[in-house]
Amino acid sequence: MRDEMFSRDWVDNHEAFSADLDRGLDALGARLGRLLAWDGTVAHLAALTLSAAITALTFNGTAA
């Protein structure tokens, strides 16, 4: 009985993980597609640079 309960839990968790992974990969693909379609405007470049700088500072601050 216990094995059956563990098996059902494993299957439920596996299905939830697979769905989350699919959604994540779809979102990543959509963002990559937007990046490849980028027209190279200055505003986009400034926003990209600013977001990269904020991320780098945040990661550096949390790791210290």
Number of domains the chain is built from: 1
Full DSSP string of 9-43: HHHHHHHHHHHHHHHHHHHHHHHHHHHHT----HH
Higher-scoring residue by pLDDT: 40, 37:
37
Range of the domain at 6: 2-63
pLDDT (tens digit per residue) in 2-19? 788 888 888 888 888 999
Could you tell me the two tokens for 23?
Answer: 């959604």
Question: Looking at residues 20-27, what average pLDDT do you find?
Answer: 94
pTM for this prediction? 0.49
Percent of the chain whose pLDDT exceeds 70: 91
3-state secondary structure of 37: coil
pLDDT of residue 62: 65
Q: How confident is the prediction for the chain on average, in pLDDT? A: 85
